[in-house]
Structure formats: C-alpha cells, structure tokens
A and B are shown apart, each in its own frame.
Chain A
Amino acid sequence: MIKTGSESVHFRIPVNDERQVSAQPGTGWMMRWQTWLLVLVAGFIFSASSMAWSAEVHRMELTHHDFEPWDFVPKPGDRIDIHNHSDIVHAVYVTYPDGTIVNLTETAAQLPNTTVSWTVPADAEDGDEYVFRCWIHTVIRADMKVQVPASQ
C-alpha cells in the first residue's frame, strides 16, 4: 500500500506484457520461425476461444505537458503504445478502476524518443475507466474508457 494524495491505493509491479520498451533489439528466439508458428497458433486458439474480436495496437504521443489528442476507443486486449516525442523525461502510470497502480517503466524514466506499452486487461469490462498520468508532470492526464464490442 502506498499513499498518493489523500486516497490510498494498491501498488503492483508491472508484469512483462504490460511493460514493453520498444527500444529493445530483436533477440534470437524472436527470429526463429518455430516460435512464430507457435505464437500464431496460440494466438489463433486464444482469439477464437475468448474474444470475438482481434486486439489492436493504438499509439499515443506524449508532448512536453500533455497527450496529443487521440481518437481510438480501446477494447480489452488492445495494446496502447505511448511514444515520448518531447525532449524531456516522463513517467507514466495507469490507475485501474479498483485503484491499482501500474507503472509503465521500472525506474520512472521514459526517455525522449522511446515508447512504452500497456495492454488493456482482457477482463476489462465495458465502461471501465483507466487513467494515464505522469508522476513527474501531474498536469498530464488521459482517461481511457474501455468499450467491449458487441458480440457477433
């Protein structure tokens, strides 16, 4: 438990799929075709079994003091890439509807020109709001309302 402002919140270290820094160079296992086949098959089974839609990747741009306007509506399972196109460091975290806080970087430093990612939890419900803020620049804020597509 940590305290921010007046409300107390739970703090959770992000797991790997929530924190993906794009600057990472390709590694050996990523190159092997078997891996890709596995990923493809697994992905197919996963999407066929649990979600009636396919996850997308959205992109947001961080400037000196704000997110640039965005026009997507995230769905459960979607990935949101946040690119820092300013010349200053940011430290974005996401507050979940239950108050859980997830940092998108380990040391609170998203250097200029890097990208961090966050994946909408697969069990997010329609209308759930996830709030993006920056520990350094409290003026920065984005409220992400999740929409679950109507099943076909």
Chain B
Amino acid sequence: MRYCGLFLVLGLVAAMGISRAADLPPRESYQRPADIPSPPSNPLTIEKVTLGKTLFFDPRLSRDGAMSCATCHSPNMRWSDGRVLPLKADGVPNARRTPTVLNSAWLNALMWDGRAASLEAQAVLPITTAHEMNFEMPLLLDRLKEVAGYQPLFTQAFGDAEITPKRVTQALASFQRTLVSKTAPFDRWVAGDENAISENAKRGFALFEGKANCVSCHKSWRFTEDAFHDIGLESLDPGRGAKVPSQLVLMQHAFKTPSLRDLPKNGPFMHDGSMHSLEEVIKHYEQGGVQRESLSQEMKPFELSDVERAYLIDFIHTLDGGPLDMEFPNLPE
C-alpha cells in the first residue's frame, strides 16, 4: 500500500503518546481527492457536461420515449431507483438492483460484474438493452438529429452539430463524472474537525477498521476499491463468475463492492436488493454468509453487541453528505 510508510509513522507517533487519537485508525487514507479524473480521450468540459445532463434526463433515449437514464438513476433516490429490481426486470434471469451513479468518475470497473471498463463504454449498454431502454443506436441518432434544440448543444460540446454514438456516450460519461458526493460529516472529521462526528460514530469507525474488518473490502474515501467478492448471499447469480474463466473459483457469485457513501436509508441493499436495513447487513457479516468455495477469504465471522452494532451504524451514517442540488434540464425541442 502506498500509505504503508505513513501508517508506520503515524503508528509510531501514536505509540509515543504524542497523538491522542491513538486508538483510531489514521485518517489520511480517507482524504477526498481534489479533482475529478477524466480520460485524455474525453477531457471534462462544461459544454459536454451540459449536453450529457440533457441526454441523461431525456426519455427520448428509449424506444418508447418513456424512460430516461434518470428513471432508474434518479437524483431523488440517491441516483438509484429505490427498487429491489429495476422496472421491466420481471422475468429477466439474474436481474440486478440498480446501483448509484454517484462518484462514478472513480470507478475502475463498471456494473455489478465489472463487464464495462469505462463510463464511455457503459453508456451504450442501457440504451440498447432490451429490458432497459430497448433502443438501437442508429435509430436513436436519427431521432436526436430531428430535435433542432440538440444541434447547438452538440456544437458547443464538440465543435460541430454532428451527432455520433461516440459523442453521445462521451457526453453522458462527462455528466456522470460531475456527480460527486457532497462533503459528509466524516469528511469534516478527516479534515480535522474533532466534533464533526459523535464519539459513538468514532467507536463505530474503530470497529469498522478493527473487529468487524469492513475495511478489508470497503476502503479509501469512496469506501470501495471496486474489487469483486462473494460475500455469501443466498442469490444464485454467478456474478463476475460468468465473465471470467470458470476455474477462477473466487469469482463465482462475486460482485463489485459498492461504496458506502450516501446510502439510501433502508436500502434496498446488495446486487439482488435482498436487504433493507444496515442492521440486517451487519448481522449478515457477523454470521459470515453462505459457506461455499467461492466465499471471499476476507469474510470471517465475528460478534458484535447490540451497542457495538449501533456504533457501526452511526459511523456509516456519517458518510452521508445528503442529496446533490440538481436542477432538472429543459429538454430541447
């Protein structure tokens, strides 16, 4: 780990009694980044973001004109849909809950099974997936070309009014990159404000890093590194196991670790939407999950008292910065 040296120094300082926060884990590894990353092939510009935002909220991106990206990734639902399974998922085998698109600028693997590698590559999938927007790119382009109001938006973003699949996906990706969690109480504590979070939440943080060992998977300021694990849910969905060579036992039933920032209050949580409270989630980890060959080696049962469990929940609540202030775009005619 890059911070190993830092940890060591901090550890020594703490051991010498210079720091009073000796029993709390170091905060440096949770520092928020200063900038939003974007690939050299699609640098972030205000004009692309504006276009992307319009496209994101435009239901004309779906065949029947009834569904936009925001139908499932809604600003009012923490950029998800609040549903166990998305609209139209009935009868779809291994359908999965809609994840948030918050902080997606930092994702290094997309979708629950990691099948997309970038926001640009991902954006085509919902448009063309039968049980989502169920459209075809050429038809979508034709439809957008008929909307006069899109032409200035494309011109401002890309220099001319040509509408191509690449431009559509670059704009959608650009807008999504700007969806970043607001500063949460935990961030203020990381920045040095001792009173930003309660003493109970600090105890919860110590459990998160200590006995409960959530940190072995929920790491960094986003509380994930997008790694894939089988945490022993009942779901039979093979997850990443269907995308990688079958000999990779540990990837069977493995799903991408979600961020713990800005979680919806009562879920639904997990790829199958099977849990509805943080208490239920934590009890699952305590119990250790379904024992099978693919179960993550980092899943080790442990025991918390009711009070400790409440501390841990208090801590997770400090990762909530509240909803983003979002003005809905005017859709062009």
Contacts and interface: CB of A to CB of B under 8 A. Distances in A.
A139 interface: yes
Contacts of A111: 297
Contact of B226 (A3, A6, A63, A138): A138
Contacts of B297: 88-89, 109, 111
A66 interface: yes
B245 A66 contact: no
Interface stretch (A20-28, A40-48, A73-81, A99-107): A99-107
Interface in A25-67: 63-66
A65 B298 contact: no
Nearest to B213: A87
Interface stretch (B34-42, B85-93, B109-117): B109-117
Nearest to B293: A107
A98 to B, nearest CB: 17
Contact of B245 (A2, A89, A137, A139): A2
Contact of A89 (B109, B226, B244, B250): B250
B251 A138 contact: no
B137 interface: no
B258 to A, nearest CB: 14
Contacts, number: 84
A64 B215 CA distance: 11
A13 B225 CA distance: 28
A136 interface: yes
A137 B226 CA distance: 7
Contact of A91 (B109, B114, B226, B248): B248
Interface string A94-127: 0000000101001111010000000000000000
B247 interface: yes
Given A64-B219, A135-B248, A138-B114, A4 B1 contact: no
A4 B240 CA distance: 10
Given A3-B243, A4-B244, A91 B250 contact: yes
B249 interface: yes
Given A3-B243, A6-B116, A66 B2 contact: yes
| Main secondary structure on B side of the interface with A | loop
A108 B115 CA distance: 18
Contacts of B216: 87-88
Contacts of A2: 243-245
B310 interface: no
Interface string B233-245: 0000000100111
B4 interface: yes
B229 A136 contact: yes
B250 A108 contact: yes
Nearest to B125: A6
Given A65-B225, A101-B245, A108-B248, A5 B298 contact: no
Contacts of A108: 244, 247-251
Interface of A: 2-6, 11, 13, 63-66, 86-89, 91, 101, 103, 106-109, 111, 135-139
19 contacts: A2-B244, A3-B115, A5-B115, A5-B117, A13-B247, A65-B1, A65-B219, A65-B225, A66-B1, A66-B2, A89-B297, A91-B251, A107-B247, A136-B228, A136-B251, A136-B254, A138-B108, A138-B109, A138-B227
Q: Shortest 7 CB-CB distances between A and B: which pairs?
A: A108-B248, A138-B109, A63-B1, A137-B227, A89-B297, A64-B1, A139-B108
